[in-house]
Each structure stands twice: as structure tokens, then as C-alpha cells.
Amino acid sequence: MISFVIPCYRSESSIGKVVDDIFSAFAAQAFEVILVNDCSPDGTLSVIRGLCEKYENVRMVSFSKNFGQHSALMAGLRETRGDMVVCLDDDGQTPPEEAGKLIAKIEDGFDVVYARYEDKQHSVFRNFGSWLNNRMSEIMLGKPKNLFMSSYVAMKRFVVNEIVRYENPYPYLGGLVLRTTSSITDVPVEHKKRADGASGYSLSKLISLWMNGFTSFSIKPLRVATVTGIVFSILGFIIGIVLIIQKLLDPESILMGWTSNMAMLLFIGGLVLLVVGLVGEYMGRTFISLNKQPQYVIKEKMNIKDEKK
């Protein structure tokens, strides 16, 4: 059986067609659809309720507030029962009929298969965010350079079982996948234009996503800060020695400049504050995790018989 997990936010006009397309493409296949309403402010919840009433194998989880796409994915993954799980978007840009290409690669032996878009139909801002996110994954999480990671992904059951063991706040699916298996590939799929509406990812949400990847699954930023501090300390020591020697050899050649001193102080001060802020970010997230902040809070479920009370 195949489980489809779809986080839903501001998708009242598109989620119905996405689900109908799944039923058309996989009519001969045993499957289920898990729709996670991330406290969408429009009529998405009503549409999902209608789909659950229409289709017995469409199931719903609804949040009490907006927790973000990756928290929604975690909630959906925990409700899946399929041998393979496919995660896709709610806006129709990731065609469900293309999931067969991902599933075929899973059947070839790969543990995780991502969709690679040859011609992305996102905005310039969103494409830049995706590029930056992939570069961040390469540097901080050890993602192979030739691997394209997207929101359209298929996974084997054991990978999902390992991912859902993560219970801390700030989940990041890419980091969880990369720490679970190295048997990952991608396949080219079609990427459609958005029929209507706009992406739910604002600049602040993209920055939050990058920070999750930085601080939840890698300590490389701290190591970069340490190396930077060492380099500047050595550089400052060398400059100090050179100035002392020059002052001894030619006292008139050294002029005390207020502007240059202030520029250096501002630069070094900014660097110190950046490093302190980075350390504070790690400490803050550790504090929040120790206080057991939830990944999400479920307000309502539909068509889920094993509902926990």
C-alpha cells in the first residue's frame, strides 16, 4: 500500500483536484491519503472534511495553530500505514501521476527518492530559496552535490519509522532523511504552474526553515564560528606585532586614526555579536526542547480509527 501525505495551507481551491488526481492515477493500487490542515485561515478545513466524507481512505489531521510544513509532514507520517510513503504539495504543482516515477526507483532498491524539476514554475524568490536550501544542506548536512531535494519525495517504510522517532521541536525532514540513509536518489518530474494563489513560504518562514536545518542537525555553524575567531585572533596578533616593530623602527610612520579604529571595532564587534547570537540560538533551542515544546497540537481527526485520546 502507498500512503500519500499532503500538508495543507491556503489550498481550498486546489486540494480537491490533487486528491481526485491521486484517485485517477492510482485507481488500481491500494493507497491512502493523509491530509494535514496546518490551521489554514481559509476554507481548506471544510474542503478536507468533505473529501473525508466522500472517500473512506482519505484521512485528516487538523492542527490547533500554524506549526509549519515540516511539523505537518511529521504528523502525517505518524498516521501512515503504507509500505511506501509519498509526500507532495497541496497546490497541484507536484502532479500526483508523476509519483509513479518515484515509486519505480524505490522498487529498484533506493530507500528515498526525490523529485527533480527540470523546469521549475516557482517565482524567482522561491527558486532562490530552494537553491539556498540545497546549498545549505550540502555544507551543513553533508547532502551529495548531485542530489536535488524537494518537497516531492517517496520513502520506504523503515525510513518513515526512523524519522517519526524524532520528537523534538523544529523538525526538518531533509536532515532526518540524510541522517537515516545514504541510499537516496532523484528523478526528473514535471512541475506545473500554480493555478491560483501564492506560495505559503514567506521570507521569514524560509529563514526559519534554514535555521532549523542549521541548528537542529549540524554543529558546523559553531565550528565555523570557532575557526573564524581563531583566524581573527591570529590576524590581530600579527598586526599588533607588526605595528609595534614599525613604531620602534620609525616612530613617525604610525599615525593614530580614529576612523580606522572605529571601523575595526564595529567589524569585530559585529562578528562577536553574530557568534554570540549563534551560540544563543543553539542554547535557546536546547532550552525549548528540554521544556518539551510540542512539534504540533492536533485539534481534530477524521477517518482515523486508532485515534489517541
Tens digits of residue pLDDT in 181-226: 999 999 999 877 765 655 555 556 666 656 666 666 666 677 677 7
Task: Residue 207: name the closest of 281, 152, 129 by CA.
Answer: 129
What is d(CA 70, CA 217) in angstroms, rounded to the nearest whole number? Answer: 14
- Joined together, the cell numbers standing for residue 161 give 519509522
**What angle in degrees, to the nearest 10, is found between the helix axes of 203-216 and 258-290?**
80
What is d(CA 186, CA 42) in angstroms, rounded to the nearest whole number? Answer: 34
Taking every pair of Cα atoms in the chain, the longest distance, rounded to a whole number of angstroms, is 89
- Joined together, the cell numbers standing for residue 48 give 478536507
Is the model's pLDDT at 254 over the cut of 70?
Answer: no
**Res. 244 pLDDT band, cuts 50 70 90:** confident
What is d(CA 60, CA 114) in angstroms, rounded to the nearest whole number? Answer: 24
Residues 56, 130 contacting (CB under 8 angstroms): no
Strands 298-302 and 58-63: antiparallel
Q: pTM score, two decimals?
A: 0.75
Instruction: Sketch the domain layout of the chain as residue ranges.
Output: 2-218+293-302, 220-290
Which tens digit of pLDDT belongs to each residue from 69-81? 999 999 999 999 9
Which tens digit of pLDDT belongs to each residue from 94-126? 899 999 999 999 999 999 999 998 766 555 655
Mean pLDDT is highest, among 53-62, 124-133, 215-224, for: 53-62
Mean pLDDT is highest, among 61-65, 131-135, 280-284, for: 61-65
Residues 6+ apart with CB under 8 A from 170: 211, 212, 215, 216, 285
Is the model's pLDDT at 248 over the cut of 90?
Answer: no
C-alpha to C-alpha distances, 43 to 34, 49, 92, nearest whole angstrom: 18, 10, 17
What is d(CA 243, CA 207) in angstroms, rounded to the nearest whole number? Answer: 42
pLDDT for the residue 225 = 73
Is the model's pLDDT at 158 over the cut of 50?
Answer: yes
pLDDT for the residue 153 = 96
Mean pLDDT score of the chain: 83
Q: Please state the rounded mean pLDDT for residues 222-251.
A: 75
**Res. 306 pLDDT band, cuts 50 70 90:** low
> Facing residues of 31 across strands?
2
Q: Match domain 2-218+293-302 to its CATH number in 3.40.50.620, 3.90.550.10, 3.40.50.2300, 1.10.1060.10.
A: 3.90.550.10
Q: Please state the rounded mean pLDDT for residues 138-160.
A: 88
Count Cβ atoms below 10 Å from residue 41 Cβ, excluding itself.
Answer: 9
